Homo-oligomer: A and B are copies of this chain.
Amino acid sequence: MRFIVADWGTSRFRGYLLDNETILDEVSSEEGVSNLQAGQHRDVFLKRCGTWLAANPDAPILLVGMVGSREGWAMAPYATCPAGSAEIAEALMPVEIGNGRRAYIVPGLTCAPAPGAADVMRGEETLVLGSGVEDGLVCLPGTHPKWIEMRGGRIERFATYMTGEMYALLREHSMIGRPATEPEDSRGFAMGLEAAERNNGSDDAHHVGLLHLLFGARAAVVSGQMASNLLAPYLSGLLTGDEINGALSQFNRPARVTIVANSPRADLYVTALERHGIATTIKVPQGALIAGLFKIGRSRSAA
């Protein structure tokens, strides 16, 4: 069965013509949601995918990502966890593309990972549904890494960390990252993981806090106790380690985690999880996205 889908995020548009899970053709542009005004989305979509649309008049159309946010084509309200492909298919948000034809925007998800807490995702629900994990913990590294608990093929709950954004803030806008030099010495990453582990270990006196460890990294460089080319990888290790400590606490420390990411980012998580004695499986994001969209599309057809 033919599908036309788009992975439409903040900074990029990626369209795919699919035959089941096989990519027949693809197109990509910088027409991400943040680069478009209200009202432009339909035209962009028709311009990029018009040939496929004409050649496949019955193909279902699915759009996923920030295209469904308040700043996107149309606001697709968050569905609530637990949610699988059936619940997501039911909450698809239709938009008119002309001649009576409709595209469907995949809704994001919201959940309360812990009592009183709140979390949201938009786009990652599709990746994780396509990860092949029916029961277990899935990690999606990135600017805002997500940890997702799957149960019976549905997304039970999830928690987002601001690790990637925090690293960028520290490097680009903070005095913490200013003494960092290149070429980086990647051994700093393991040193950062170690510091994060001490901060979370059995000795309460070592629970000094992330905000101190970050300042201490700068202090170590300016006082000559750490080489400046270790600093950036150290900060990355410290933040990643702190994220993993938190995720393992709230998701009951499983024996295996599935990581949906490309190299080299996936490798950093493999290394970090190995230190906790946790095995890993790596899945490629593009494959997971296509598989997730196919699953949602099939649920829609079945409904």
Residues of A within 8 A of B (CB): 78, 110, 113-114, 117-120, 144, 159-163, 165-166, 169-170, 172-176, 198, 200, 204-216, 219-220, 222-223, 225-226, 239, 242-243, 245-247, 249-250, 252
Contact of A110 among B120, B223, B245 (CB under 8 A): B223
B176 and A162 form a contact (CB under 8 A): yes
Which of A215, A249, A252 has the largest count of B CB atoms less than 10 A from its CB? A215
B114 and A250 form a contact (CB under 8 A): no
Contact of A206 among B114, B120, B223 (CB under 8 A): B114
Q: With A110-B223, A216-B119 in contact, is A246–B166 under 8 Å at CB?
A: no
Considering the complex, give the chain B residue whose CB is closest to the CB of A163. B211
Residues of B within 8 A of A252 (CB): 205
Considering the complex, give the chain B residue whose CB is closest to the CB of A147. B212
27 chain-A/chain-B pairs, Cβ below 8 angstroms: A78-B223, A118-B219, A118-B220, A118-B226, A119-B219, A120-B222, A159-B208, A159-B216, A160-B216, A160-B219, A161-B209, A162-B176, A162-B211, A169-B170, A172-B173, A200-B207, A207-B246, A208-B246, A208-B249, A209-B242, A209-B243, A209-B245, A210-B210, A210-B211, A211-B242, A211-B246, A212-B246
Considering the complex, give the chain B residue whose CB is closest to the CB of A214. B162
Residues of B within 8 A of A144 (CB): 215
User: How many angstroms between the C-alpha atoms of A207 and B113 in the bound complex?
Assistant: 12
Query: Would you give the shortest CB distance from A151 to chain B, in whole angstroms?
Result: 16
Residues of B within 8 A of A159 (CB): 208, 212, 216
User: How many angstroms between the C-alpha atoms of A169 and B175 in the bound complex?
Assistant: 11
Q: Which 4 A-B pairs have the closest CB atoms?
A: A209-B246, A118-B220, A207-B249, A161-B211
